[in-house]
Structure 1
Amino acid sequence: MPASTPRLRALPLLMATSLALATGTTRAAEIDTAKVDAVFAAFTPQTPGCALGVYREGQVLLARGYGLADLNHGVAITPETVFDIGSSSKQFTALAVLMLAKDGKLNLQDKVSKHLPELQALGQRFTIDQMLHHTAGLRDYNELMEIAGHDLGDVTSSDDALRLLAAQQGLNFEPGTRFSYSNSGYFLAAMIVERVSGQSLDAFLQARVFKPLGMTATHVRTDHTVVVPHRATAYRPNGPEGFAIDMSNWNQPGDGAVQTHVRDLARWDAELAHPKVIDPALLKAMQTPGKLADGSPISYGLGLSMDSYRGLPRVQHGGAWGGYRAMVMRFPEQRLGLALTCNAAQASTPALAQRVADVVLAGQFKDTPAAQAAPSAAPAGFDPAVFVGLYEGEPGDILRIEKQASGALAMRRAGGGAALRAIGLRRMQSHSGITQLDLADDGKTLTLTRNDDPKPVPFKRLPDYQAGAAEQASLTGRYYSAEVGAEWTLSSKKDGLTLKGPGAQEAQVSALKADLLEGPGFSLRVERDAKGAPVALVYDSARTRGLKFVKR
């Protein structure tokens, strides 16, 4: 809403609903609710906000709402407010596939083209199991749809997404050799569930999971026109004090689209803790980390990710779609789960959930929360200047190390970024601890390692480069991709090169070296013919690589 809009009247925050338990390490009465409320202080009776559920083996210890579900009418968020949980939906898609495998209707080692012949030769290269573990190498269909000119306000169907994936001629990498999160695999998994079962994903999950567990408000949304009782509207910031509606009209299931509330998610938490409806072997398979073809372990199971927080094993999956944000998290050894659903795009649900866990599991962790830990000083002799620069990994995979105004270093890669801290003279780490960077003694090679991917990635330092006017002019023109059915125009202006696609604003692009351009969150490799004339641009990003646009 515009900054000039009158403030909505204040509404009292919903008080907690608690159940005291006689056993266990965490009881409702032991939770410091004032500290939990402080975690959500930014969400007021005038802003969008979040719903929180904290569970012990499915028993609700705490259920709370913060902020507004609807800014137009001043409707408060409650534990019964329904939200889209984005990619947190993937665990239910994976479960549906596992149930059909148990029924003998499919095999996880089936080639995907067996069930989706539209994918033809491409679908013969990877299995259902690889799709579910994000090791199939699929380009991300969400990004492909955007490249094709669709924004979230467009009405799109499963047929639209399936046609787009069927038109792809390449993969990001050879299946089984790497882990790379992709929404495409879970969308295709939903299509397989529908083909094999003869039901929509929603109908299948209603019959086999949601209704048997009593999750009466939970469903898979595939029709943006359907009225959903008690659903929150999603928002994004719009100016210093305002908000704008941020909803999607895309209707694809599988990678997202589950809508639910935190009380229903308590029933799911109970089933994960003590299965009564679902075969325990299937739930165990979901929570078993996968492996690459060479046996290297990954942290992702089937629709769930396994890691640790402050020394405690954790199972979790976040979600984001439009202005919705979500996190479903469990600490199995402490028999504690929590769910966080938000309608504010600025809400960092992983960080919020961890802060709630800091309160609820206080005294049970093995180390200090990052928010309270004293910042570690850089080792004596550490020189941040040796890290600053531009690096390239695989062709088009660009990493920047930059010095911020505060003097601290930060990294940027494919539109994402992270603050860095020194843990050695030639070693840095993201503050989250997920990413580590090691610089070779000669300063020319930087090796990136992530704790969710067993494969270290080497990057080579790029020297400074300035493209000449003639080089820029030779690149201008129209480029077409048959794989997405879209045309892009590259133009030369006073301030450099700009790229314009269908339905998109112009994006500034700059030359990093000869025949390598960088835009916001992507890079473009220039291909030339035998005479040296540019004939194509090859698009690369974190989740979509090798997408070719041929010059007209």
Structure 2
Amino acid sequence: MNKAYNQTTDVAIQQLFNNLSPNEPGCAYIASFDDGLTFKGAVGLESIEKKRPITTKTIFNLASVSKQFTAFAILLLEQEGKLSLDDSILNYIPSLGAYAEPVTLRHLIHHTGGLVDYMELAEKAGISDKDKLTAEQSLEHLEKYQIADFPVGTKFEYSNTGYFLLSLVVEKASGKSLREFSKERIFEPLNMNDTTIVDGYPTNISIARGYSKNEQEAFEIYESPWEHTGDGAVHTNVEDLVKWGQNFATGTVGGKKLVKRMGEVGPKTSSAGKLIIDNEDYGFGLSIGETFDSHYLEHSGQWAGYPSHFMRFLEEGLTIAVLSNYEDFDSEEYAVKIAEIIIGKSAKK
């Protein structure tokens, strides 16, 4: 692409962020083609208290953008013959109880398992997102509940429980925590050196502070010490997400055949032949987008003071990521606007 395109595009993207203050929480963004052409920047502070500016190296909590890494770990283990997507979850976590026996790993990946969301159970137990909550506590909550939200495979309902349980499956099948497995098998081979999974607090990793606004419209720290992995908890920066995005083209980790499976949606019908109502186009921790007259994979995240959005345009070889440390920031909106500028088409559906 020519120099004029590069300069015009860079200016247009920068202008998207003109309304953001350099003295408040903000965001880092990147849009990078596999050939190296990259547009990136950052606005705002990663710490109001220390007046540290955000850079494209600043580490954020990815929240649910993390789910794709969990699904990828499951596919790696399946590739090695250490599990099958059609295994019952009880093969790995028998304590869940007989009612969960029909629920397979495939159901959990595609959000059709019907298990109650562990966050709801925490709320019922009077535990807020600012209180400490361990994976063991949530597993106990799930073991006591014993009621499905709906018959397995009959409905799509986005579930953090499914991906939390998949992290435990990785641990049982590999003998390593999801943090250790992901570091060894995904992050290090891709040179994602600033990427890790946080599975305990406090942590010594330098992370952008998360913020919300109080009733007086003043910023205050908003972070959660919950220790679950699988549904969230990957911490990284926009630079490392480009390395991850490039793996969708190269298959450096997993191989091209496995990488392609990340965009395969779940079954539209249950094993009983019943049509799944409102089944979204959801693959392996990623949604399948079809706007822009293009085929792409994407996922949003939102947890405490960390909104995030990731997009991977397959044919264009383009990765876009927007990460923020302010609860009400719309990372998806900004990512889509960046895509509109670069691709030159509106995201009309």
TM-score interval (norm. to shorter): over 0.9
Which residue of 2 is the match for residue 360 of structure 1? 342
Q: 1:123-165: per-residue Cα shift (whole Å, max 9, x none)?
A: 2021010011000111111222122111122111110111111
Partners of 1:95 and 1:27 lie apart in 2 by 38
CA spacing shift, 1:313–1:119, aligned 2, 3 Å: same
Whether contact under 8 Å (1:59, 1:266) holds in the other structure is: no
Normalising by structure 2, report the TM-score.
0.93
Does the 8 Å contact 1:51/1:78 carry over to 2?
Answer: yes
Cα shift at 1:182: 0.4
> Higher strand fraction: Structure 1 or Structure 2?
1
The percent of aligned pairs where both chains have the same amino acid is 33
**C-alpha distance in structure 2 between counterparts of 1:252 and 1:265, whole Å:** 21
Distance 2:261 2:123 in 1: 33
1:351, distance to aligned residue in structure 2 (A): 1.1
Q: Map 1:89-168; keep pairs closer than 5 Å.
A: 89-168=66-145
TM-score by length of 1: 0.60
Q: Residue 314 of structure 1 aligns with which residue?
A: 296
Q: Secondary structure at the match of 1:167?
A: helix
**Is 1:260 aligned with 2:258?**
no
Q: Secondary structure at the match of 1:310?
A: helix
> Aligned in 2, Cα 1:27/1:264: closer, same or farther, shift over 3 Å?
farther
Unaligned segments of structure 2, at least 5 residues: none
User: Per the alignment, do residues 154 and 351 of structure 1 end up closer, same or farther by CA in structure 2, a change over 3 Å counting?
Assistant: same
C-alpha distance 70-58 of structure 1, shift in aligned 2 (>3 A):
farther
Partner of 2:20: 43
Alignment of 1:219 onto 2:201: no
Match of 2:299, as an amino acid? Answer: H
Give the 3-state SS of the residue equivalent to 2:297 in structure 1.
Answer: strand
Q: Distance in 2 between matches of 1:53 and 1:37?
A: 11
Could you tell me which residue of structure 2 aligns to residue 54 of structure 1?
31
Count of aligned positions: 343
Which entry has the higher C-alpha Rg, 1 or 2? 1
Gaps of 5+ in 1: 1-20, 371-432, 434-552
Aligned residue among 245, 261, 283 for 1:301: 283
Whichever residue aligns with residue 224 of structure 1, its letter is Y
1:142-541 correspondence to structure 2 within 5 Å = 142-229=119-206, 231-239=207-215, 241-291=217-267, 292-293=269-270, 294=273, 298-362=280-344, 365=345, 368-369=346-347
CA distance in 2, matches of 1:193, 1:251: 16
- State whether residues 188 and 254 of structure 1, in contact with CA within 8 Å, keep that contact through their aligned partners in structure 2: yes
Higher-RCO chain (CA-CA 8 Å, sequence separation at least 6): 2
Deviation at 1:27, TM superposition (A): 9.3
* Aligned-partner Cα distance in 1 for 2:300–2:4: 25
2:237 is aligned with what amino acid? Answer: H
Pick closer, same or farther for the CA change 1:253–1:302 going to 2, 3 Å.
Answer: same
Structure 1 match to 2:62 = 85
User: Which among 48, 58, 82 is matched to residue 71 of structure 1?
Assistant: 48
CA contact (8 A) 1:51 1:65 kept: yes
> SS of 2:188's equivalent?
helix
Inter-CA distance 238–51: structure 2 relative to 1 (3 Å threshold): same
Distance 1:83 1:58, change over 3 A: farther
**What is the SS of the residue equivalent to 1:53?**
strand
Report the residue type matching 2:63 in the other structure: G
For the aligned residue pairs, the C-alpha RMSD in angstroms reads 1.9
| Contact 2:96 2:146 (C-alpha < 8 Å) held by counterparts | no
Asked whether the equivalents of residues 28 and 62 of structure 1 are also in contact (C-alpha less than 8 Å), the reply is no
Per residue, is there more helix in 1 or in 2?
Answer: 2
Secondary structure, aligned partner of 2:39: strand
Range 284-293 or range 68-77, more displaced: 284-293
Decide whether the 8 Å contact of 1:116 with 1:123 is kept in 2. Answer: no
* Change in 2 beyond 3 A, CA 1:161/1:239: same
